Amino acid sequence: MEDQASESLAVHSGSEDASSVNYSKDFWSSRSELNLMHYMLKTRPFLATAASKLTINLPDKGIVIDASGGATAAAIGHGNKCGLYNRRRGIPRASNGFSKVYLVGSGSEANDAVIKLASQYFYEKGQLQRTKFISRRQAYHESTISSLSLSTAASRVKQCKGILMPNTSHVGPCYPYQYRHEHETTNDYVSRLDQELEDEFQRLGPENKLSAGQLLADTRQSRTASRLFILAEVMCGMSRTGSIFAWQDEGVVPDIFTIGKGLGAGYIPIPGMLANSRVIEAIESGSGWFNQACTFQAHPVACASALAVQNIVKRDNLVANSKKMGKVLEQLLTSSLAGKKYVRNIRGRGLFYAVEFAKDKETRETGTVDEKRGDHILLAPAFIMTPQDLEGIVKVIMAAYDITEQEVAAEMAL
């Protein structure tokens, strides 16, 4: 973190010695505007001067607990020291016929690669009419134009609608709290999603393939020569949900899937795409080359860093700990928050949980329906969690919730 702060200073002045800087509470307010472009232009990012395990030191805020891991990235905690292990030890292998992995620098690149690989698969097979991708509404598949075309995140998509790919369509989300009918069982709900997906295939005609899905219904329909079943695990994969890959606990096996945050655990950018043998063999027996090359793909330093992270995950048995602590987190959240006035849904698996809030229990008003209506919090702490760590996090959430409920009551009384 100190190195990152030093880099930001260098971008600002080009000459300032970071070791001589006083990181006081008014550090940012005393600076002129930075040249480094952050995605929020009207506010400055928090200054972090140090981080260790589960905490980050913000001079203007104090010590904070990192309970979301930088959107699921800090999987093994901050400042986890290790050496770069011998590459021959290897990283966790995907079974079920996965034969190749393509490593890049961001989740967007990985999902872009998926789109091109799926398209090339049908090109190599001479099925040029198969160009359609179906994904789920309310999904987010990263931020490049092609990957954003698979998404429906309103705030991210609205400025790009005129330039998105035209060959994408969307079906309903796998979101039972908001969309399962009152008297509908889980199996009935899955069957309805299954039928909606099949109807969309038929509407599109013979040129169709599946770009993303989350339930068993998806894989039943996509196991044909004319369809590919693809999953995006940039956030939920690499041990986040208590198994190395999230799909391993779902009774499904994709043809292609992406991984991301947990592979390098925030220490280095290194997401990737994995493809099974039938996809790879189609290309090997055709042109023999994947039409997607990036200057820094599979960069040796990134690969070595990811390998070091995965060896820590293996050495410290963190996949099992993610599953075990996930059960503790679920119990703590349920016992502490389930009865609260505005808490409506607690969902997740492993160390990947959300708490959703709604104004009205019956109508589910202001549930997380889109990015304008509704509120929820995301929890994605490091895999090194202990029960005591989780208790501390939930206590903070409870305190924040209680304060918020009191503020809401005061506003409604006006």
Q: What is the pLDDT of residues 47-60, one digit of tens each?
A: 888 889 999 998 87
CA distance 149 to 140: 9
Count of CB atoms within 10 A of residue 316's CB? Answer: 14
DSSP codes of every residue in 120-136: HHHHHTT-TT---EEEE
pLDDT of the residue at 375? 85
Please provide the distance, in angstroms rounded to a whole number, between the alpha carbons at the two ends of the chain: 45
What are the tens digits of pLDDT across the range 337-389? 999 999 999 999 999 999 999 887 776 776 666 666 778 899 999 999 999 99
Report how far apart, in Å, the C-alpha atoms of 182 and of each of 90, 162, 186, 210 are: 48, 38, 11, 29
What is the C-alpha to C-alpha distance for residues 116 and 119, in angstroms, rounded to an integer?
Answer: 5
Helix, strand or coil for residue 45? coil
Query: Phi/psi of residue 107, each to 5°?
Result: -65, -35
- Each residue of 10-47: pLDDT tens digit? 333 333 444 455 656 666 666 666 666 666 656 777 78
Give the length of the chain.
414
Average pLDDT over residues 321-339: 97
Q: Which two tokens stand for residue 290?
A: 């994947």
Lowest mean pLDDT among 67-76, 82-91, 335-344, 356-365: 82-91
With left for phi above 0 and alpha for psi between -120 and 50, is residue 87 left, alpha or beta? Answer: alpha
How many angstroms separate the CA atoms of 238 and 56, rounded? 23
pLDDT band (50, 70, 90) for residue 213: very low
Could you tell me the CA-to-CA distances from 81 to 53, 74, 77, 146, 413 in Å, in that order?
10, 13, 10, 37, 52
Contacting residues for 190 by C-beta, under 8 A, at least 6 apart = 215, 216, 217
pLDDT tens digits, one per residue of 109-122: 999 999 999 999 99
Distance CA 137, CA 174 (A): 9
Three-state SS for 340-361 is CCCEEEEEEECCEEEEEECCCC
Distance CA(84)–CA(93), nearest Å, equals: 19
Q: What's this model's pTM, rounded to 2 decimal places?
A: 0.83
CA distance 372 to 57: 32
- Rounded Cα distance, 50 and 58, in Å: 8
What rounded mean pLDDT belongs to the chain?
83
